[in-house]
Amino acid sequence: MTTETDTKPAYSPGLAGVIAGETEICWVDPNAGLMYRGYDIHEMAEKANFEEVAYLLLNGELPTTKQLEEFSKALAAERPLPKEVLEMMRLMPKNTHPMDMLRTGVSMLGPFDPQLNDHSHDANIRKAIRLIAKTTTLIADGFRIQHGQNPLPERPDLTMAGNLFYKLSGEVPPTWKIRMMDTIFILYADHEFNASTFAARVTAATLADIYAAVTSACGTLKGPLHGGANEEAMAMLDEIKTADRAEDWMMNALAKKAKIMGFGHRVYKSGDSRVPIMREIGRDLGQRVGKDQWIPICEKLEATMDREKHLCANVDLYAAPVFAMLNFDPALNTPIFAASRVAGWCAHVVEQQDHNRLIRPRSLYTGPASRPYKAAAASNGS
Ligand code: ACO
């Protein structure tokens, strides 16, 4: 009979290629495809709005007109934050990164939810609506507080995309900008077992609550190898400045073995499904706002990286200049990603807890072999 100590389970560093669970929510095709519940992301990005996609991710089917109306109303009604959470944000150091503010805010919201410890399907969906609604409020109100401004009242007549612009700047954006933001939110809404979603599922699988799971996800998204890349990519583009400097910059960085933000992906090896849409938004926006320098820099970087290392650009490379041209502070790049991905995180928590099994892998022990214990007193000779 073989015991567990005799067998050697397969080991994959970084869990690369490991199937860690089942999901009906999202499929990432390594050959540059992406589907939400069977619907092609490219079609959704063109035709749907974020609320529709959030409904689809949470409920499994597209909403009817009436269901969408009710869902959008419920989201808008849940936007305001408890005053204690606003007070907490005023107490945070002024230089707190917006992702740290968001993570802390999500965590603090938990005990204010009367259904915090009810993990039934229906309660989880209701909590998901509250969390999706309040995430943009945490981001916008937190940002204004940090910059010495008072949070603005909600505009329930605006969709989440429109309301985010309004809550940050006090201005209702033109329709084309809201449409563009909806497309961006749709592109970022889910991506199967990416690092932050996996973190959320690991937390949810212990039967901790959805706020705990989304807090784990926010902490994970912040890292520059994941969501944090879209802030770092903007710093890189700012440094490069013009397309004619991009190739030299890249060659220098590669010679120093630097990790270039906005390039590479664990799953996509022949292109990120979201890049062509984000690149197109960048081109369109560049013309609209008279800042057409950014996309040619990205394209030159892409060509150089492809030639040198056969690595593809990921969505964060193009999201960075898009957010800059939409006038968002670069520190908000990753929180905006979170404002959308929270829909995916919540859908995965619901799915995890509906069919739960603890997620607990093994490690490959590489430490010292068994050795005799020597007490400190004995080895000191005292
Ligand atoms: N810059 C330079 N070299 C890279 C990069 C990069 N961005 N990405 C991968 N490589 C190199 C690796 O160092 C490795 O080289 P080696 O074989 O000489 O050691 C080789 O390419 C293969 O790397 P992978 O195994 O494919 O990378 P992995 O799957 O472990 O990591 C990751 C994926 C973390 C996304 C990586 O590509 C990276 O760090 N990219 C930069 C950060 C980034 O843009 N993150 C955003 C991801 S998308 C998202 O979260 C929305």
Give burial (CB, 10 Å; 0-12/13-18/19+) of 66.
exposed
- Residue 158 is part of a domain; what is its CATH number? 1.10.580.10
Instruction: Tell which one of 185, 231, 249, 265 to mutate to probe ligand 1, the residue whose CB is within 8 A of the most ligand atoms.
Output: 265
Number of domains in the chain: 2
Same domain, yes or no, for 233 and 336? no
Q: Is there a catalytic annotation at residue 121?
A: no
Q: Is residue 377 part of a domain?
A: no
Nearest ligand 1 atom, CA 226: 50
- Distance of CA 261 from the midpoint of ligand 1 (Å): 9
Residue 226 and residue 220 in contact, taking contact as beta carbons nearer than 8 Å: yes
- Distance of CA 184 from the midpoint of ligand 1 (Å): 23
Same domain, yes or no, for 176 and 286? no
The contacts found for 221-226 with CB under 8 angstroms, 24 or more apart, are 221/99, 221/195, 221/196, 221/334, 221/337, 221/338, 221/341, 222/97, 222/99, 222/100, 222/103, 222/334, 223/195, 224/261, 225/195, 225/259, 226/194, 226/195, 226/196
- Distance of CA 308 from the midpoint of ligand 1 (Å): 14
- Distance of CA 116 from the midpoint of ligand 1 (Å): 37
Nearest ligand 1 atom, CA 266: 29
- pLDDT value of residue 380: 56
Same domain, yes or no, for 62 and 210? yes
Same domain, yes or no, for 58 and 207? yes
Same domain, yes or no, for 320 and 336? no
Alpha-helical segments (H) within 119-259 = 121-146, 160-169, 175-188, 195-204, 210-221, 229-240, 246-255
- Ligand 1: does its nearest atom lie under 6 Å from the Cβ of 200? no
- Ligand 1: does its nearest atom lie under 6 Å from the Cβ of 262? yes
Nearest ligand 1 atom, CA 272: 48
- pLDDT value of residue 283: 98
Same domain, yes or no, for 203 and 234? no
Residue 323 and residue 172 in contact, taking contact as beta carbons nearer than 8 Å: no
Nearest ligand 1 atom, CA 194: 50
**Residue 93: strand, helix, or coil:** coil
Same domain, yes or no, for 271 and 215? no
Q: Is there a catalytic annotation at residue 29?
A: no
Q: Is residue 15 part of a domain?
A: no
Q: What is the 3-state secondary structure (H, E, C) of 358-378?
A: CCCCCCCCCCCCCCCCCCHHH
Instruction: Tell which one of 188, 226, 250, 259 to mutate to probe ligand 1, the residue whose CB is within 8 A of the most ligand atoms.
Output: 259
Same domain, yes or no, for 315 and 338? no
Q: Residue 139 contacts by C-beta under 8 Å, 6 or more apart in sequence?
A: 98, 101, 102, 164, 332, 335, 336, 338, 339
- Ligand 1: does its nearest atom lie under 6 Å from the Cβ of 75? no
Last residue of a domain, one of 286, 305, 325: 325
Same domain, yes or no, for 283 and 196? no
Same domain, yes or no, for 65 and 201? yes
Partnered with residue 228 across adjacent β-strands are none
Give burial (CB, 10 Å; 0-12/13-18/19+) of 39.
middle
- pLDDT value of residue 7: 65
- Ligand 1: does its nearest atom lie under 6 Å from the Cβ of 264? yes
Q: Is residue 214 part of a domain?
A: yes
Query: 208, 303, 204: which is closest to 249 by C-alpha?
Result: 303
Same domain, yes or no, for 42 and 162? yes
The pTM score is: 0.96
- pLDDT value of residue 5: 52
User: Which domain, by its residues, includes 185?
Assistant: 24-222+332-354
- Ligand 1: does its nearest atom lie under 6 Å from the Cβ of 261? yes
Written as one letter, the residue type at 111 is: P
- Residue 296 is part of a domain; what is its CATH number? 1.10.230.10
Query: 316, 154, 338, 183: which is closest to 175 by C-alpha?
Result: 183
Same domain, yes or no, for 175 and 111? yes
The contacts found for 169-174 with CB under 8 angstroms, 24 or more apart, are 169/327
Q: Is residue 319 part of a domain?
A: yes
- pLDDT value of residue 80: 98
- Distance of CA 337 from the midpoint of ligand 1 (Å): 19
- Ligand 1: does its nearest atom lie under 6 Å from the Cβ of 139? no
Q: Is residue 238 part of a domain?
A: yes
Taking only the tens of pLDDT, the chain with its 382 residues reads 445 555 677 899 999 999 999 999 999 999 989 999 999 999 999 999 999 999 999 999 999 999 999 999 999 999 999 999 999 999 999 999 999 999 999 999 999 999 999 999 999 999 999 999 999 999 999 999 999 999 999 999 999 999 999 999 999 999 999 999 999 999 999 999 999 999 999 999 999 999 999 999 999 999 999 999 999 999 999 999 999 999 999 999 999 999 999 999 999 988 999 999 999 999 999 999 999 999 999 999 999 999 999 999 999 999 999 999 999 999 999 999 999 999 999 999 999 999 999 999 999 999 999 999 999 975 555 4
Q: Is residue 51 part of a domain?
A: yes
- Ligand 1: does its nearest atom lie under 6 Å from the Cβ of 266? yes
